[in-house]
Amino acid sequence: MSNDLAGVWEVALSDGVHRIEFEHGTTTGKRVIYVDGKEVLRRDWMFKLVGKETFSVGSSDTKATINIDAVSGFAYEYTLEINGKSLKKYMENRSKVTSTWLLNLDGIDCRVVLEKDTMDVWCNGQNIETAGEFVDDGTETHFTLGDHNCCVKAVSSGKRRDGIIHTLLVDGTEIAECTE
C-alpha cells in the first residue's frame, strides 16, 4: 500500500467484520480499494478526481460505494455507503435485523450472527445448517458448533415496541448479545 490512504472503514456483515481501505492519489488520479487486505478495484490516471466507486463486500456480495466529494480546493471527503445507505444508517438498521453474539468455544473465538428476517445463522463467516421448531412460547432454532449444542430461542417480549427477543443458548447456558 502507498501513502495515498484516504479512508478506512470496518463493516460488520453476517459473514464477518470486513476492513475496507481506500487509496486516492489526488496528483495521479489513482483509486485503489482493498477489502480485507485484498485489492478489489484499481483505476489509474483518472482525470476526474470526484465521483464514486462501487464494489462488493463479503460472501453475499453486499454492494458498497465510496463517494468522493470535493470539500474545498484540493481537500476531499470520502463516505462509504452499504446497500445504498450511509454506513451509520446501515449499521443502525442492521442492529434491528440481526443479533450478534461473541463467545469462545474450546479456545476458538466465535462470532454468531442471526439474521432475524430469514432466521439464518452464521458463525465465523459460515452459514450454519439449522433445524427450527415451534415451542409453547415461540420458536427454537437448533444447531451445533463443534461438540456444543446451540439454540436460538425467539419469544415475544409482550411489548409491541420491543417485538421478539432472541436469546442464544450454548449447552443450556445463555450467552449475552453484543452490539457492533
Domain end (from 87, 118, 133): 87
> How far does CA 113 lie from the centroid of its chain?
10
Are 111 and 53 within one domain? Answer: no
Lowest mean pLDDT among 43-47, 130-134, 171-175: 43-47
Residues spanned by the domain of 61: 3-87
Rounded mean pLDDT, 155-159: 87
Residue pair 101/168 in contact (Cβ under 8 Å)? The answer is: yes
Q: For position 157, what pLDDT does the model report?
A: 85
Are 99 and 82 within one domain? Answer: no
Query: Is there a domain that residue 33 lies in?
Result: yes
Compute the distance between CA of residue 56 and CA of residue 172 in angstroms, rounded to an integer: 38
Are 78 and 109 within one domain? Answer: no
Query: Is there a domain that residue 24 lies in?
Result: yes
pLDDT digits 0-9 by tens, 96-118:
899 999 999 999 999 999 999 99
Alpha helices of the chain — where are they, by DSSP H? 87-97
Are 158 and 120 within one domain? Answer: yes
Are 65 and 131 within one domain? Answer: no
Residue of higher predicted confidence among 156 and 179: 156
Residue entry with cell 462488493: 56
Look up the pTM and report it.
0.83
Are 42 and 76 within one domain? Answer: yes
In the structure, what pLDDT confidence band is assigned to residue 27 with cuts at 50, 70 and 90?
A: confident
Compute the distance between CA of residue 174 and CA of residue 152 in angstroms, rounded to an integer: 10
